Every structure is written in structure tokens, then in C-alpha cells.
Amino acid sequence: MSRLIVVSNRVAPITEGQPTAGGLAAGVMDALKEKGGIWFGWSGEIVPAGAAGEAREQALGPIRLFTVDLSRRDYDEYYRGFANDTLWPTLHYQTALARFDWGEFAGYRRVNALFAKAIAALAAPEDIVWAHDYHLLCLAEAMREAGCANRMGLFLHTPFPAPQVLMTMPAHAELMRSLCQFDLIGFQTDIDRAAFADYLVREAGARQGRGQALHVFGREIRTGVYPIGVDVAEVRAQALAPARDAAQLRASMGGRRLLISVDRLDYSKGLRQRFAAFERFLEDYPSARGDATLLQIAPPSRSDVQTYREIRRELEAEAGRINGRFAELDWMPLRYLNRGFARAQLMPLYAVAQIGLVTPLRDGMNLVAKEFVAAQDPQDPGVLVLSQFAGAARELTAALIVNPFDMTGIARALDRGLGMQRGERMERHADLLRVMRRNSLARWRDRFAADLAGRKQGIVPVQ
């Protein structure tokens, strides 16, 4: 029987008997548990050059976790360099923030090859390889070069940009040729899939095949749309469990209204624009002063990348300025928390808020938007204000959809959301839940795994 081999940059930190941290990790774990399988990734350790690349094994029930260490050079070129300083901004349409270096691209390919070599040593010919995300776009090519004929699929968690945006990255042709060594490439939305196909048709002479297949570079690849979801029942159960932080937050609000935003500290999440929109809201709707508070939770991420350090400094200054301008003796408009929360504490916080404010400039999906909806009380739900440029907006059309660059538009949506009658809130919430129950985390996982294994699946529309 074929096993599933999941490959991602990092293997989620897992301890036996403990619940896994994020929904995604839990979803992947479930898939592995069902079939038994392997999860492969970087250990998070940086070691001297000679000691890098050795795979270490840890058994976790029916799952085997394999990790490798990286050298400083590997880390700088592959992770910090090409993946996070070139690919991440380019995939999120932030071309002005992208920095390109051919040496780093070579380093990225070298680490993909290092992964491939270690996986090739573990994989039986019938095993199926499921790679995740923008760190591993060259993995299939490296595995083919290592002599593996396995079925291989990649799910891209980020957006896929319009061809003209991708082409600002000098190695686009090499990267796309390499990526097309996968058998199945999955995207979050139809827009991402269409952009990918558009590039291949225009720039590489691809022909459309049957369904969503493409003939390119002398082979046939399949593509598909697999919107990632959350486990609605689990999120609601977590939101309802007693939690100290949520009780404290509720008490501190004293009957005033709460807007909540939760993000990794990342320029793609639109935090600067969001702070500005909240300021505009306080300017344009004076009755909100002394009443509405925005709680922004944003733990630092990738803090050894320069642009991430800059955004952190900038946001701290902006939060201070806005609070200085509007705060009253007994009311602080913006609470900015520079730290993460455990899931068990975070889900109940969503349930305290009247508005979920999710305004990324670009986002593959954005699970926070879905978690916020799932955490709400269906009898008295909060309102989701959602960026049109989050993948989630393709499904969550009953949210108040905004343009994250339009301060006035966001301010108006906040006013509308806070004033919305319960009947309309319940109706919109029921709509959102219906879509989310259908496109659940389990369905995302099962559809991708089944398509990769080549089993027949009906084409199911996204909504």
C-alpha cells in the first residue's frame, strides 16, 4: 500500500499526547494517521556546514517524523534569502520589497535538493509525496533528478501572482519549469490557478488539457482549487471553553465594543493601512470615541529579515501616535499586543469581539477570518469585515467585503458592522457557516490527497 509523505519547510513541533498547535498541522496529522506515513522537514536547527543534511527520525504513533538540520549558509540563502526575501513579497504582489540574488536562488535549489536526497532514501516507488508551500517549489525536479518517479503534488498556501508580477523576479522561467515537475499543483482560489495557467500559456506555450490539466515542458500536469478551511465544530468548542484571557478581556471592556485583528506581523497583512483606517473611523464617526476599541494581536515573525524589523518599528510608533491623539482617561482606542496566544486562549478572544477586522493586502486564504466566524455565537454573532484580496473573500461573500487600501471604505464598513441589527448578523453568519462547513479542513485535505493519488473526485464548485 502506498504511504503519504508530507514535506514542509518545518515539521510542526509535536509532542505525543499534546494537542497540535495549529489547524493546519492538525489537518495534516490526521491525513498521516489514517494511512500511516512520513512527515519531513527542517528541524529548525542551524549547525556547522559539515553536520547539515543528516535526517533524524522520531516516531509518533503510526507517523514517522524526519527532520534535517541546515547550515548557516543554507539558512541564509534558502530560507531568509530566496524564500522570504524574494518569493514571499513577489507572491504577495509586493515587488518593491523583493530583493533578488542568483546565488540565493542557487542556495534555494541546493536545499530543495538536500531535502529531495533525504526523501529519496526513504521513499518506496509507490509512495505519494505531498509538498507544502513556497519553500519547496523545486522539490519535485530535484527528486526526479535523484531518480524518483513517485507521484508528487504541491499545495501553494500563498497567492499565485499575475504573470507580469511574477516576471519581475529574474529567475521566473527557471522556477516555473522546475515547479512543473510536480504532477498536481493545488491553489487556494480560482484566481491563483488562473494566474498560474495564464503564465504557462503565454510564456511557456502550454496547451490546456482535459479538465484543469496543462500540457507544458513535454509533460502533463494537473492543477486544482482546494480552499483550505477550519474545523468549525472544534473552533466553536474551543471558543466556548473557559479561558482566563477572554474573561479578563471581557471585564476590561466594561460594555464597550471590541474589534479584533490577529495576524503574524507581516507587511502582507496590511496592518499599517488597518491602523490608518481605524484612525479614519475615529475621525469620521465621533460617537465611536470612548466606545470602540481595536485589539490587534501580532507576534513578530521572521524578525531576522530587515523588512520585518522595519514594519515592527513603524507599527509601534503608529499605535503610540493614534493612542496619544484619541485616548481618554478611561479608554484606549488601540490595544497592540506584540505576542502570540495559544489556540485555547485565542479562540475565546474572537468570541468576545463584535467585529473581526481582517484586511490583508494579499493573502492566500487567511484562516483567522474563518476562525473568527466559527468562534461566534450563532444567536448573537459578530460581523466579519474582510479584505477582497484575501483568498477567503472568494468564499465568504456574506462578510462585509472591503478594499484594504480604502480607509474611508473600511471606516464605513466598521460603522455599518457595529450598527448591524441582530437579524442581519444572524443571516450573514449562517451563510458564512454554511460555506465553511462545506469547505472544511477535512475536505481540503481529502480532496487534495485523493486527486494526488489519482482517485476520481467529482469537480465540486468552491461555493
363 binding ligand ADQ? (CB under 6 A): yes
Active site residues: 157, 363
Composition of the chain by helix, strand, coil, percent to 5: 50, 20, 30
**Of 228 and 315, which has the nearer Cβ to ligand ADQ?**
228
Whether residue 150 contacts residue 143, with contact meaning beta carbons closer than 8 Å, is answered with: yes
What number of H helices and E strands is found in the chain? Answer: 17, 16
Q: Which residues pair with 154 in a beta bridge?
A: 131, 185
Q: For residues 335 and 320, what is the distance between their CA atoms, to the nearest angstrom? A: 10
**Of 76 and 263, which has the nearer Cβ to ligand ADQ?**
263
CB of residue 357 to ligand ADQ, shortest distance in Å? 13
Whether residue 354 contacts residue 418, with contact meaning beta carbons closer than 8 Å, is answered with: yes
Count of positions on this chain that bind ligand ADQ (CB under 6 A): 22
Whether residue 253 contacts residue 312, with contact meaning beta carbons closer than 8 Å, is answered with: no
154-173 binders of ligand ADQ (CB under 6 A): 157-158
Q: For residues 343 and 241, what is the distance between their CA atoms, to the nearest angstrom? A: 11
Q: For residues 34 and 440, what is the distance between their CA atoms, to the nearest angstrom? A: 17
9 binding ligand ADQ? (CB under 6 A): no
Q: Does an H or E element contain 421, and which?
A: none
Q: For residues 216 and 213, what is the distance between their CA atoms, to the nearest angstrom? A: 10
CB of residue 449 to ligand ADQ, shortest distance in Å? 15
Whether residue 139 contacts residue 175, with contact meaning beta carbons closer than 8 Å, is answered with: no
Whether residue 155 contacts residue 422, with contact meaning beta carbons closer than 8 Å, is answered with: no
289-328 binders of ligand ADQ (CB under 6 A): 297-299
* Spatial CB neighbours of 424, under 8 Å, sequence gap ≥ 6: none
Would you state the cell numbers that stand for residue 93, as one nine-digit string?
A: 504582489
The span of 22-30, 276-284, 381-389, 454-462 binding ligand ADQ (CB under 6 A) equals 22-30
**Of 9 and 112, which has the nearer Cβ to ligand ADQ?**
9
The span of 17-25, 201-209, 210-218, 285-293 binding ligand ADQ (CB under 6 A) equals 17-25
In the DSSP assignment, the letter for residue 286 is G
100 binding ligand ADQ? (CB under 6 A): no
CB of residue 420 to ligand ADQ, shortest distance in Å? 24
447 binding ligand ADQ? (CB under 6 A): no
**Of 148 and 368, which has the nearer Cβ to ligand ADQ?**
368
Helix (H, G, I), strand (E, B) or coil at 100: coil
Q: For residues 143 and 113, what is the distance between their CA atoms, to the nearest angstrom? A: 7
CB of residue 265 to ligand ADQ, shortest distance in Å? 8
Site string for ligand ADQ, 332-351 (x = CB under 6 A): --------xx----x-----
CB of residue 455 to ligand ADQ, shortest distance in Å? 23
User: Closest by alpha carbon to 353, among 375, 368, 331?
Assistant: 375
**Of 22 and 103, which has the nearer Cβ to ligand ADQ?**
22
222-261 binders of ligand ADQ (CB under 6 A): 228
Task: Pick one of 69, 76, 104, 263: the residue that binds ligand ADQ (CB under 6 A).
Answer: 263
**Of 363 and 446, which has the nearer Cβ to ligand ADQ?**
363
CB of residue 148 to ligand ADQ, shortest distance in Å? 26
**Of 101 and 245, which has the nearer Cβ to ligand ADQ?**
245
364 binding ligand ADQ? (CB under 6 A): yes
Q: For residues 435 and 431, what is the distance between their CA atoms, to the nearest angstrom? A: 7
Q: List interacting residues with ligand ADQ (CB under 6 A).
A: 22-24, 157-158, 228, 262-264, 297-299, 340-341, 346, 363-368, 371
